[in-house]
């Protein structure tokens, strides 16, 4: 877990942005019901965690610059021996101060009595309206109560989008965040290697998924998102998560899986032959996807535009599809007409952090954002040719390939976080051959 010094630094940075006369309010994520009286495993709201490190539900954080009795106030559940016997220990208000750095803490049941007073004299309320619908109504009721009392003036209690402020902060990763992202990537690499070595024709997709989850849980971690384990034509469904089909000799297996370390995500994809050997067509498409990823890597450095990597991937994939006879025409014209889109329909990457698809603008003032040191993103080109795609020769059909890695932008260029996984077709075959020999 990041140090309390790290969370305090983030809160100070936010308060500097907010300025005097402002207050920020962040509700914790609610518990999510799975069925009847069973709940999903709890996962804290990313913005709430980013500023507090507090991992319990039924909590509200308030950040009030200049408050005499403390600028960071946390409302949380009281200690309760009966409930803790069933659901585990709670920090309680005392623990919120002692273990989580709160300047002041109160029972969550006192929120209605205390929080309106924290809004008094504040012109701006930083809050992510629309994310927690029930809490939206409570906040508006408190604001209206203060208006009825005549607190402030006509401009009092302007609600400012807190999420827009935090998404820019979260886009630049600190040393502690980068450490967590490296750890998530390292465990995910280990999981992908285990799955690759275990794979055999006749296994089920869910058996390979079990190999991934085994590694995550062995390190005490959770999957960052539902794992994609897609054999053969299933790989052409981008968000395939059924994972219930048999793995056939001669097919490819696409795995898109990653874990969370201290809530920081990894997101890695590999595609490899179920029987350990690529066919000629599979290898041709695989090497094309790999070449496009290598071309994308060459663009990743401070000052480059966000879209530069995607533009290079499109150029390489389009040229390669022409060379293979899958597309016909001049590559420049095919790029302009987006003729590649039936076979490569998604972007080349996304921001990565506390969320798998992390927050952060991709355009600023109508222009592609420039990359800067401390940003973390994925690079994930792919080619997908559906089994029923009559526009191409039958030998190409039913092949889906994606290669995805996690990358940190550094002051000198970039660093591959998901290092250690085979990338070339030869490396993949050697890894699988070695596993079979063992």
- Tokens 């002051």 map to which residue? 411
pTM for the structure as a whole: 0.95
Q: Please list the active-site residues.
A: 37, 239, 256, 267, 346, 350, 357, 380, 384, 402, 404
According to the model, what pLDDT value does residue 47 have? 98
- What is residue 144's DSSP assignment? H
Pairwise CA distance, residues 194 & 188, whole Å = 10
Q: Region 123-138: what's the mean pLDDT?
A: 94
When pLDDT is averaged across residues 343-357 and rounded to a whole number, the result is 98
Closest CA to 107 of 118, 99, 117, 96: 96
For domain 172-437, give the fold: Creatine Amidinohydrolase (3.90.230)
Averaged pLDDT for residues 189-200: 97
Could you read off the pLDDT of 71-102 as tens digits, one per residue? 999 999 999 999 999 999 999 999 999 999 99
| The pLDDT of residue 391 is above 50 | yes
| Secondary-structure percent of the chain, ordered helix, strand, coil, rounded to 5 | 40, 20, 40
Predicted confidence (pLDDT) per residue in 410-435, tens digit: 999 999 999 999 999 999 999 998 86
Grade residue 154 by pLDDT with cuts at 50, 70 and 90.
Answer: very low
Q: How far apart are CA 435 and CA 438, in angstroms?
A: 5
Q: Is the pLDDT of residue 379 over 90?
A: yes
The secondary structure element, H or E, covering residue 211 is helix 205-218
Q: How far apart are CA 211 and CA 387, in angstroms?
A: 28
Looking at the predicted structure, is the pLDDT value of residue 282 above 60?
yes
What class, spelled out in words, does domain 4-169 have in CATH?
alpha beta
User: Angle 194-395-277 (CA atoms, 0-180°, nearest 5)?
Assistant: 30
Q: How far is CA 39 from CA 31, 33, 34, 132, 216, in A?
A: 7, 4, 5, 18, 21
Q: Any idea where the domains of the chain sit in the sequence?
A: 4-169, 172-437
Report percent pLDDT > 90 for the chain: 94
User: Please, what's the b/e burial string for 257-272 (b: 16 or more CB within 10 A of its CB; e: otherwise)?
Assistant: bbbbbbbbbbbbbbbb
């Amino acid at each position: 877990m990041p140090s309390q010094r790290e969370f305090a630094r983030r809160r100070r940075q936010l308060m500097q942005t907010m300025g005097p006369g402002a207050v920020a309010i962040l509700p914790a994520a609610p518990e999510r019901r799975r069925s009847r009286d069973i709940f999903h495993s709890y996962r804290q709201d990313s913005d709430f965690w980013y500023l507090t490190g507090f991992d319990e539900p039924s909590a509200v954080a308030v950040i009030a610059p200049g408050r005499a009795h403390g600028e960071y106030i946390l409302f949380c559940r009281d200690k309760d021996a009966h409930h803790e016997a069933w659901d585990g220990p709670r920090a309680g208000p005392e623990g919120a101060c002692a273990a989580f750095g709160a300047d002041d803490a109160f029972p969550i049941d006192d929120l209605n009595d205390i929080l309106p007073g924290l809004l008094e004299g504040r012109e701006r309320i930083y809050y992510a309206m629309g994310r927690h619908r029930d809490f939206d109504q409570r906040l508006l009721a408190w604001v209206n109560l203060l208006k009825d009392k005549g607190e402030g003036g006509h401009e009092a209690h302007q609600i400012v989008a807190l999420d827009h402020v935090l998404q820019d902060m979260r886009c630049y990763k600190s040393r502690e965040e980068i450490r967590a992202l490296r750890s998530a990537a390292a465990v995910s690499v280990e999981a992908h290697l285990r799955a690759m070595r275990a794979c055999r024709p006749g296994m089920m997709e869910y058996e390979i998924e079990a190999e991934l989850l085994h590694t995550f849980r062995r390190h005490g971690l959770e999957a960052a998102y539902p794992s994609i384990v897609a054999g053969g034509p299933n790989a052409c469904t981008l968000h395939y998560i059924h994972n219930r089909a048999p793995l056939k000799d001669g097919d490819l297996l696409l795995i898109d899986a990653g874990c969370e370390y201290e809530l920081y995500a990894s997101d890695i994809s590999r595609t490899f032959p179920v029987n350990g050997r690529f066919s000629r067509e599979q290898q041709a498409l695989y090497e094309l996807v790999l070449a496009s990823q290598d071309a994308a890597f060459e663009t990743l450095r401070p000052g480059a535009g966000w879209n530069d990597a995607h533009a290079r991937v499109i150029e390489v994939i389009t040229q390669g599809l022409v060379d293979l006879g899958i597309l016909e025409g001049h590559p420049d014209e095919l790029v302009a007409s987006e003729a590649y889109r039936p076979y490569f329909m998604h972007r080349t990457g996304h921001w990565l952090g506390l969320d798998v698809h992390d927050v952060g603008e991709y355009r600023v003032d109508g222009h592609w954002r420039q990359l800067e040191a401390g940003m973390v993103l994925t690079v994930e080109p792919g080619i997908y040719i559906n089994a029923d795609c009559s526009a191409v020769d039958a030998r190409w059909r039913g092949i889906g390939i994606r290669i995805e890695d996690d990358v940190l932008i550094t002051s000198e260029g970039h660093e591959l976080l998901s290092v250690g996984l085979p990338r070339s077709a030869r490396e993949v075959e050697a890894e699988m051959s070695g596993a079979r020999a063992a």
